[in-house]
């Protein structure tokens, strides 16, 4: 077996008795290696197509949420998240988030995000904000629609998740999503209070949790608090609010 010729070495390997430890480990490694190679190549080559499919899906969901709100054409706007100002173009860059501020478990977030504003005449009617964050075992992606006061939730939908079927995956059910309409994001002092609670929610800031899916529910709370907070759309919403009142 100690031959320099790889072919001879290979023959020697094949000639080993099948149940010798060396051959067992060798075959296990080879099978695992070849299989992982095949799976990786397939996954990487097909990823762009799958991403395109998911994007179409999310676009269809967005159309759905806009139909529920009714009226107005959605106008996509690029927003620089740090300042809240409109950005002329999306540089496609990301900023790392320090762990203590990374409530939604994202690691990093984009510098410029696309939001959708719906206007009736000159008056702002709704804003639709893409949100995402870590759930129990997958990243939850959805859209949050706020009414013109920028505090009342018009709708919250999730279009992508891979949570436990029958438990966390129920966040995509319309019965649960319907609970969000009319809830208030922040209290009178401006503190973001919206949360998913265990059991039945009470008051304008609480939404019923899904029993058996505590970590998915917490994930939803955290991602909303992140995206509505200073590292998310906070600066943008603050600016919109000032413009509307002044």
Partner 1 sequence: MSERRRILVDPILATNPLTLQVLGICSALAVTTALSTALVMSAALIFVLTLSNGIISLIRNQVPRSIRLIVQITIIASLVIVVDQVLQAYMFEMSKRLSVFVGLIVTNCIVLGRAEGFAMKNSPGAALLDGIGNGFGYALILVAIGAVRELFGAGTLLGIAVLPTEAEGGWFTPLGLMALPPSAFFLLGLAVWVVRVLRPEQAEPAPEPQSGEVPR
Report whether 104 contacts 133 (CB < 8 A).
Answer: yes
The CB-of-12 to partner 1 minimum distance in angstroms stands at 13
- The 8-class DSSP code of residue 107 comes to S
3-state secondary structure of 40: helix
Q: Which residue has the tokens 């939001």?
A: 115
Query: What is the rounded distance in angstroms from the CA atom of residue 239 to the CA atom of residue 231?
Result: 14
Query: What is the rounded distance in angstroms from the CA atom of residue 238 to the CA atom of residue 241?
Result: 5
Q: Which is nearer to partner 1, 76 or 165 (CB)?
A: 165
Q: Which residue has the tokens 């977030």?
A: 109
The CB-of-159 to partner 1 minimum distance in angstroms stands at 12
Q: Which is nearer to partner 1, 27 or 69 (CB)?
A: 27
The CB-of-31 to partner 1 minimum distance in angstroms stands at 5
The CB-of-138 to partner 1 minimum distance in angstroms stands at 14
Q: Count the helix, strand and coil residues of the chain and give each as a percent rounded to the nearest 5.
A: 40, 25, 35
The CB-of-17 to partner 1 minimum distance in angstroms stands at 9
Q: Which is nearer to partner 1, 149 or 162 (CB)?
A: 162
Q: Which is nearer to partner 1, 170 or 225 (CB)?
A: 170
> Given the rule CB under 8 A, which residues bind partner 1?
14, 18-20, 23-24, 27-28, 31-32, 35-36, 38-39, 42-43, 46, 49-50, 53, 56-57, 165
In 104-170, which ranges are continuous DSSP H helix? none
The CB-of-80 to partner 1 minimum distance in angstroms stands at 33
The CB-of-56 to partner 1 minimum distance in angstroms stands at 8
Q: Which is nearer to partner 1, 46 or 96 (CB)?
A: 46
Token pair belonging to 6: 């790889």
- Pairing, β 112-120 against β 195-197: unpaired
Q: Which is nearer to partner 1, 54 or 198 (CB)?
A: 54
Q: Which is nearer to partner 1, 53 or 211 (CB)?
A: 53
φ and ψ at 225, to 5 degrees?
-65, -35
Give the residue among 77, 83, 76 at the shortest CA–CA distance from 239: 83
Strand ranges for 57-177 from DSSP E = 74-80, 94-96, 108-110, 112-120, 123-134, 139-147, 153-160
């Amino acid at each position: 077996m100690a031959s320099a010729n790889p072919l001879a070495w290979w023959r020697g390997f094949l000639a080993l008795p099948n149940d010798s430890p060396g051959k067992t480990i060798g075959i296990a490694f080879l099978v695992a290696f070849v299989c992982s190679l095949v799976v990786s190549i397939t996954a990487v080559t097909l990823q762009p197509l799958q991403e395109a499919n998911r994007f179409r899906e999310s676009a269809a969901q967005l159309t759905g949420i806009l139909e529920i709100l009714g009226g107005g054409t959605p106008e996509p706007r690029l927003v620089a998240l740090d300042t809240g100002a409109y950005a002329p173009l999306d540089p496609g860059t990301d900023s790392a988030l320090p762990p203590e501020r990374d409530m939604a478990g994202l690691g990093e977030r984009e510098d410029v995000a696309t939001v959708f504003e719906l206007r009736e005449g000159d008056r702002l009617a709704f804003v639709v904000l893409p949100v995402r964050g870590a759930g129990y075992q997958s990243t939850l992606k959805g859209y949050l629609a706020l009414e013109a006061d920028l505090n009342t939730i018009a709708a919250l939908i999730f279009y992508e998740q891979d949570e436990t079927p029958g438990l966390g995956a129920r966040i995509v059910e319309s019965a649960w999503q319907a609970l969000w309409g009319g809830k208030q994001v922040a209290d009178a002092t401006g503190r973001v209070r919206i949360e998913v609670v265990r059991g039945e929610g009470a008051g304008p800031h609480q939404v019923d949790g899904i029993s058996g899916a505590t970590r998915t529910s917490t994930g939803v709370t955290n991602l909303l608090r992140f995206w509505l907070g200073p590292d998310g759309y906070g600066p943008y919403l603050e600016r919109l609010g000032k413009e509307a009142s002044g």
